[in-house]
A = this chain, B = another copy of it.
Amino acid sequence: MPERGHYAGETPAIQDTYPEDVAHCYGCGRLNDVGHRIKTRSVGDGTVTEFTPEPYHTAIPGYAYGGLVASIIDCHSTGSAAIFQMQHGGKTVGSEPSPRFVTAHLEVDYLLPTPLADFHLVGRLVEIKGRKVVVETELSVDGTVTATGSAVLVEIPEHLFDPKA
């Protein structure tokens, strides 16, 4: 399925530069056949993910279920952390395999019910300290922010990429 969205194809998505052995995540792995396969890009001084939910991702009729909102904010945050970490090191996304982050702490505020329609997520760097990155996210639909997120992400040491190690 070709990627949809305003920014599709404009700049490399960070998930397309994840090393192959850590590219199977249900949320963001390009190699997970049934997952969300979100794409996060550097746009301006922030990050952007666009995501189209499926009709079955419903909560109460017409709205997205809260777990999806949390999942997409979480996935967007790990991708954003990788982008911000690379940029902090003076590297361009796509110039080499991306670092890979996992979430240590996630907070989501559900401000309004999120319509079951195209999600637009914008990430902002709050802090980088060694392997730890803090990212804030706004999720909007049709220009209205319906949820915000704050996440603490930690870069996975490379030896943990290989489960046999």
- Our pick among B60, B70, B163 for the contact of A25 (Cβ within 8 Å) is B60
Min C-beta distance of A70 to chain B, whole Å: 4
**Cα–Cα, bound, A161→B56 (Å):** 17
Chain B residue at smallest Cβ distance from A65: B26
Listed in ascending order, the chain A residues whose CB lies under 8 Å from chain B are: 21-22, 24-27, 29, 32-36, 56-62, 65-68, 70-72, 74-75, 78, 100, 102-110, 113, 156, 160-161, 163
| Copies of this chain in the oligomer | 2
Min C-beta distance of A122 to chain B, whole Å: 18
Q: Is the CB of B110 within 8 A of A103?
A: yes
Q: Is the CB of A25 within 8 A of B113?
A: no
Most buried by B among A21, A72, A104: A104
**Cα–Cα, bound, A71→B163 (Å):** 25
Q: Is the CB of A26 within 8 A of B67?
A: yes
- Our pick among B58, B62, B67, B110 for the contact of A70 (Cβ within 8 Å) is B67
Would you mind naming 17 contact pairs between A and B with Cβ atoms under 8 Å apart? Answer: A25-B65, A26-B56, A26-B65, A27-B59, A32-B58, A35-B65, A61-B163, A62-B163, A66-B75, A66-B106, A67-B67, A67-B71, A68-B71, A105-B107, A105-B110, A106-B107, A106-B110
